[in-house]
Structure 1
Amino acid sequence: MPEMITGKKTQRYSTEFKVKAVEWSHQAHRSVKGVAEALDIHPFMLSRWRKEYREGQFSMKRVKKAPPDAKQKIQEQDEVARLKRRVSELEEENDILKKFQRFQAEERRKRSDSSGNTEDSTE
């Protein structure tokens, strides 16, 4: 009778793959979650790799290449992050311009009020 096989099959990733993933996740504009999604791995696994990388515990494992669309996903995430930063900058500029317009309108109103009320209305 054949032996029963139970449980999930565990993926094995190469040290090169892990190092690349860790390096991507250390870049300032990238998050662990975003890199993990792009590489189709669990964020906890990437966090564990980051810890192992810090401690120098990587050992050679069987080779598994990154998904073919991982680089494209990361580029798309970078572009989205860049666009979000730009939108934020533009919204801030817009708010500043609105405040400046209100300030100018108040100044005009003050000038027109002070120049139009020269007559004394108490008789």
Structure 2
Amino acid sequence: MPAYKTGKKTAQYSLDFKLKAVEWSYETHRTVKSVAEALDIHPFMLSKWRKAYRDGEFGMVKSQKIK
């Protein structure tokens, strides 16, 4: 059976990029949608990063919050 190749590559984002995107999205005058559009990523991806940040999965202290 032949090997299937999708040709589609998944973008890999650095931890620094994710943290900056999350921090930017927590600014009071910004929305997840507007930040995602500016960074050319899907809003769901940014929402997943925000949840991971809140859960401490980025190596941050779980109780730490962005103001």
TM range (shorter): 0.7 to 0.9
RMSD: 2.0
2: CA distance between counterparts of 1:31 and 1:16? 20
CA positional deviation for 1:5: 1.2
Show structure 1 runs of 5+ residues with no match.
60-123
The question of 1:11 aligning with 2:23 is answered no
User: Which aligned pairs between 1:40-59 and structure 2 lie closer than 5 A?
Assistant: 40-58=40-58
2: CA distance between counterparts of 1:56 and 1:17? 16
Q: 1:73 aligns to what?
A: none
With normalisation by structure 2, the TM-score equals 0.78
CA positional deviation for 1:14: 0.3
Deviates more, 1:40-49 or 1:4-13: 4-13
1: CA distance between counterparts of 2:32 and 2:16? 17
2: CA distance between counterparts of 1:36 and 1:29? 14
With normalisation by structure 1, the TM-score equals 0.44
Runs of 4+ in 1 over 6 A off after TM superposition: none
CA positional deviation for 1:7: 5.9
One-letter amino acid of the structure 2 residue matched with residue 22 of structure 1: V
One-letter amino acid of the structure 1 residue matched with residue 19 of structure 2: V
One-letter amino acid of the structure 1 residue matched with residue 37 of structure 2: E
User: Which aligned pairs between 1:2-41 and structure 2 lie closer than 5 A?
Assistant: 3-6=3-6, 8-41=8-41
Greater gyration radius: 1
More helix by share: 1
Residue identity (%):
69
